[in-house]
């Protein structure tokens, strides 16, 4: 069975440069690991106020962050239930993404790509709390992002395509 992704896009930001749904779906499909046969993901692009509110309410951090990942299970363990698709929401904060891309000398598209991949890996259970987990997750992110035609997101000494 091939991977099937249902992707919903909600744009709650007036920011310029938000990638179209077709582009986001391409990136998301590339981030799905082989064990994921079906996924249902909502990507919501927000302004700083909503990003800050969500980060404060769900992570206890009172600032807007670049990407938040929400799974549909209560405890965050992301169980794989046979027959059910991988489900969750990603929230991208457009002003933060734009600011970071500029600060890091990356194109806006390449940074959106990286953050979407990063969020989808979180949705699939990857994390970067421990050093070994961070190394594995970053290596996988780099591999996926580069397979999509962008530079390694963790190399800050180069401009991204």
pLDDT tens-digit profile of 70-110?
Answer: 987 655 555 556 678 889 999 999 999 999 999 999 999 99
Rg (alpha carbons) of the chain, rounded to whole number = 15
β-pair partners for 39: 5, 86
Tokens at 140, concatenated: 């996988």
Tokens at 129, concatenated: 């709390």
pLDDT score of 37: 87
Share of the chain above pLDDT 70, in %: 88
β-pair partners for 93: 46
Sheet holding 38-46, edge to edge: 4-12, 38-46, 86-93, 67-71
pLDDT score of 1: 41
Diameter over CA atoms, the chain = 44
**Domains of the chain, each with CATH number or no CATH:** 4-74+84-147 (3.40.390.30)
Does 114 show up as a binding residue in the annotation?
Answer: no
């Amino acid at each position: 069975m091939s991977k099937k992704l249902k992707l919903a896009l909600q744009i709650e930001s007036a920011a310029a440069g938000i990638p179209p749904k077709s582009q986001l779906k391409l990136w998301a499909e590339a981030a799905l690991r082989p064990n994921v046969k079906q996924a249902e993901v909502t990507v919501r692009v927000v302004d700083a106020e909503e990003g800050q509110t969500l980060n404060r309410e769900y992570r206890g951090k009172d600032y807007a962050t670049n990407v938040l990942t929400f799974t549909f299970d209560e405890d965050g363990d992301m169980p794989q239930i046979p027959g059910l698709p991988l489900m969750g929401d990603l929230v991208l904060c457009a002003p933060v993404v734009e600011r970071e891309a500029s600060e890091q000398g990356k194109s806006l598209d390449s940074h959106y790509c990286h953050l979407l991949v990063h969020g989808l890996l979180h949705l699939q259970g990857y994390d970067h709390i421990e050093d070994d987990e961070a190394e594995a997750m970053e290596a996988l992110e780099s591999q996926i992002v580069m397979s999509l035609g962008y530079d390694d997101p963790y190399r800050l000494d180069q401009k991204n395509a």
